[in-house]
Amino acid sequence: MSNYRFYRISPAGERLPEPSVTEAARSAPGGGYAWLDFRNPSPEDLKPLVEQLGVHSLSIADCLDEAQVPKIDNFEKSTFVLINSYSYQDGVLVTGEIDFILGANFLVSVGGRGKAGHWDDKDIDAVFKLEPRTLGQGPDFLLHALMNQVIDGKHKAISALEAEVDETEESIVTDLSGFRMSRLVHLRKNILLMRKSLFYEREILIKLCRRDSPFVGEKAVYHFRDSYDHVTKYYEEAEIYREVILSLTEMYLSMVNNRMSLIANRTNTTVRRLTFITTIFMPLTLLAGIGGMSEWSMMTGPANWKISYPAFVLGMVVIGALTYAVLRRMDAKLRSKTE
């Protein structure tokens, strides 16, 4: 559902409600400028901007297109600025689009489309209570104030993302077997989305600070520089988090590899012990097979069983002991080489 509000901002920074675009944009005896705020507008809602304010049709098209990255476009009678708002909900970074159209004596703001948030009356009251006389100097000062409101709102989402990064690191260390690699992939996706948005917004503020737009005055530039510092700080934090995610990924893979190597070593040790035991008993099994047959009695004679069978048992013990000694010595040499 679309809604809108039209104001004439007086030189003293007072908001004077107006019923239509025409009334807000008309020249008032006391001066001031128009602020036209739209929430989830339709094409019909924005059509009067082209006819009465001379806004370029491409700006209107960009306001209605949700698949846009932050950017700035300068036209003959206006400058179009697009920035992103952030909200971090249930581990998902949601980016919204907020558009501004700045003219010599007007400012148009458009937002609230899709999942994007928009400022409410409480936020607007806070903006105008801060420095009302500053906002009365021109629409470029109001543009900075509203952009700054959006930029400051990014801090909450960035803090939530930072807390999840810390929690992820702790989960890898404390519960490696229960951790899922998809969590790191998801975090990396959110951070790259944030980094991309902040990169473009930093470029926008650079252009505003060097007055690429003819509708930004010399006095307003200092305010935009402050916003540039905030965006640059957030961009650097996004870079740090990206490096942290890469480090956590390497740490996770290294720990998994170490655990698999440990399991493999334990398996090898078990198999070596079983092989060792099997090797010892192989000749004994052969002798036991021969001794349990009638051939042994035939070779030694049935009458000599009291001598032949103890001798047979003694032979098995001696062969087993010799085999064990030889294999132990070979195993010790193998361990010393591997260590």
Q: Mean pLDDT, to the nearest integer, of 181-205?
A: 91
- C-alpha to C-alpha distance for 249 and 254, rounded to whole angstroms: 8
Q: Where are the alpha helices (DSSP H) in 54-101?
A: 57-64
297 pLDDT more than 80: no
pLDDT attached to residue 201: 94
- In CATH, the number for domain 3-256 is 3.30.460.20
Percent of the chain beyond pLDDT 90?
26
pLDDT in tens, 51-101: 888 899 999 999 888 778 899 999 999 999 999 988 887 778 888 889 999
One-letter amino acid for residue 56 of the chain: H
Count Cβ atoms below 10 Å from residue 153 Cβ, excluding itself. 16
Sheet holding 79-89, edge to edge: 15-18, 3-9, 33-39, 106-111, 92-102, 79-89, 71-74
The pLDDT tens digits for 99-116 are 999 998 999 999 877 655
Domain definitions of the chain by residue range: 3-256, 270-338
The whole-number average pLDDT for the span 150-172 is: 88
Residue 75 phi, psi (nearest 5): -120, 180
Predicted confidence band of residue 21 (pLDDT cuts 50, 70, 90): confident
Q: Alpha-carbon distance 224 to 305, whole Å?
A: 109
Flag whether pLDDT at 337 surpasses 60. Answer: no
* CA neighbor of 54 nearest in space, from 96, 88, 104: 104
Residue 294 has what pLDDT?
54
